Amino acid sequence: MLEKYLCKIKRFYFIISGVILLLSINLITSSLPYSESINNSEELKNLNPFLAFLLLVLIGPLLETLIFQHLPIIILPKIIKNIQEKYLIFISAILFGLSHSYNITYIIFTFLGGIILAYYYFLSIKRKEQAFLNIFLIHLILNFIPYSRDFILVNYF
């Protein structure tokens, strides 16, 4: 039922729904033990805000979407014939989570987020839209939120 709804809504709402789901997971996992932030913010605060924007909001989501959603979902079915969608989602999420190994809570958050991103990748295909672009935009918006908090608000207000 949810899948049918997500396949019918306008693209803007589809992307925003992905961001909201990921923010919800962040809210839940932030209450877990060891949920302190990655705490590389001191290093990041020393970055030029434009460079930080390029790395955190554009290049990071672009490369991560390519490496952790696009490539596993496109290449693995060519290697493992008849692999089911749920296994591709799980593999994509494991890779995504393990690549964010700052602390256990962050691994859990990014694993769960990886499930959503991979699931939305498949939904984008079913919607006959550019899956890579949709996931990149969801990830970009998600990363822009802490960037705006850490760089724009802290440095300019």
Distance CA 45, CA 58 (A): 17
Count how many domains the chain has: 1
**Residue 13 within any structural domain of the chain:** no
51 inside domain: yes
- Decide if 114 is inside a domain: yes
CB 111 within 8 A of CB 102: no
- For residue 89, the enclosing domain spans 44-152
Identify whether 113 is part of a domain.
yes
**Average pLDDT over the chain, rounded to an integer:** 89
**Crossing angle, helix 71-79 and helix 85-98, to 10 degrees?**
130
Is residue 87 situated within a structural domain?
Answer: yes
Judge whether residue 112 has pLDDT over 80.
yes
User: What percentage of the chain exceeds 70 in pLDDT?
Assistant: 89
pLDDT (tens digit per residue) in 125-155: 999 999 999 999 999 999 999 888 777 666 6
Q: Which two tokens stand for residue 153?
A: 């608000």
How far apart CA 34 and CA 83 sit, in angstroms, is: 35
Structural domain contains residue 16: no
Q: Answer whether residue 92 is part of any domain.
A: yes
Alpha-carbon distance of 30 to 37, in angstroms, equals: 9
Task: Say what the pTM is.
Answer: 0.90
Helix (H) or strand (E) holding 108: helix 104-126
> Quick check: is 29 in a domain?
no
